Structure 1
């Protein structure tokens, strides 16, 4: 009886390599959520990899370790914040509006900043320092040109406005209940945003010189 040779099986195809940029983006996005929820100490590499749908080995390949991944997440958030909240010509009112809108739309940024202050308050980058320096310089220039109140040092005026932008978003929960409405409702947020911008206008507006004593109209 004739025999039939069995055709050799084709070798299994090697898995198509994933796009490294896309994988890194997935890992960064997953890490952002994990660190925002649990901080640096509480975050778990396994959970980050699972969130990203990636092999956790790639996390070490791309970022080194958990500390370096946390720093990469922070720097990306800082970069986005700086890009979307420019301080143009020392205009602190527009800056306050942009920063309030950004922090409202990106609550993870505020949580990451809080974890950073708690766990790594001695870590910052030269890029971040230079970004703040440029903003303080812009405020100082606007003060010299008479467009902003110059009764406070530029760095203090900027710091005050910076914190005001999160005065409601970071307010104690017990305080937010006093408003009598849902703290994050569209109406309550609109009311606070208007009050925020009015406050910034008041504290940054150039002072009108007082009329000399005894002057007549």
Structure 2
């Protein structure tokens, strides 16, 4: 029976996602990833070249999935932020991987998908500002950064803050994100 290379690659990415989210790049072990994927270490090196290459592939996959699931609408940034919030709630590993990426890949070659996505979003926001559809109190890159950070606000706090707001439900958290972005847009 022939092996399905794409399924093996997908299992390795999924297992690596879970491992990296739990312990970061430095703490991740390729033998645990291979075992969780019902594969072997040789396959990791065959498909991804190294543990760092595997992390980059996981992060690239995460970015593509987020871009596909949550396209930006510059004419409704509050709802875009709400949909990003929803995405983070449904995929809690996203913010953990982003944190590990910031901590352990600082100074590494930026991923093209992230650069291209950010540049495209900044252009769309700039065009909407030029057309008068968005306020210009913030530059396009500032506005994008604020929207992105507000959308991830609830999933990127310290455990102590999380404990203080533990009784705040998902609907309220989403509403706070949407209202905060709307308030930004009211700042003309």
Q: TM-score, normalised by structure 1?
A: 0.81
2:99 paired residue among 110, 114, 122: 114
Of residues 149, 155, 159, the one that matches 1:163 is 149
Matched, 1:192 2:173: yes
Tell me the residue number matched to 1:148.
134
Measure the CA separation in 1 of the matches of 2:173 and 2:107.
33
Q: Are 1:138 and 2:138 counterparts?
A: no
Q: Classify 1:180/1:35 alpha carbon distance in 2 versus 1 (closer, same or farther; 3 Å).
A: closer
Cross-structure match for 2:162: 176
Contact 1:146 1:206 in 2 (8 A): no
Change (3 A) 1:21 1:180: closer
Check 1:177–1:36 CA distance in 2 against 1; reply closer, same or farther (3 A cut): closer
Other-structure match for 1:98: 83
Give the root-mean-square deviation of aligned CA atoms. Answer: 1.6
Q: In structure 2, do the counterparts of structure 1 residues 112 and 203 end up closer, same or farther at CA, with 3 Å as the change threshold?
A: same
Q: Distance in 1 between matches of 2:161 and 2:45?
A: 43
Measure, in 2, the Cα distance between the counterparts of 1:180 and 1:48. 32
Query: Structure 1's 46 and 200: CA in aligned 2 closer, same or farther, altered over 3 A?
Result: same
1:34 aligns with 2:27: no
Structure 1 unpaired stretches of 5+: 1-15, 208-217
Choose between structure 1 and 2: higher helix proportion.
2
Greater mean deviation of Cα atoms: 42-51 or 56-65:
56-65
- Post-superposition, which runs of at least 4 consecutive aligned residues in structure 1 deviate over 3 A? none
Max Rg structure: 1
- Give secondary structure in 1 for the equivalent of 2:56: helix
Residue 71 of structure 1 deviates from its aligned partner by 0.8
More contact order relative to length (CA 8 Å, sep ≥ 6): 2
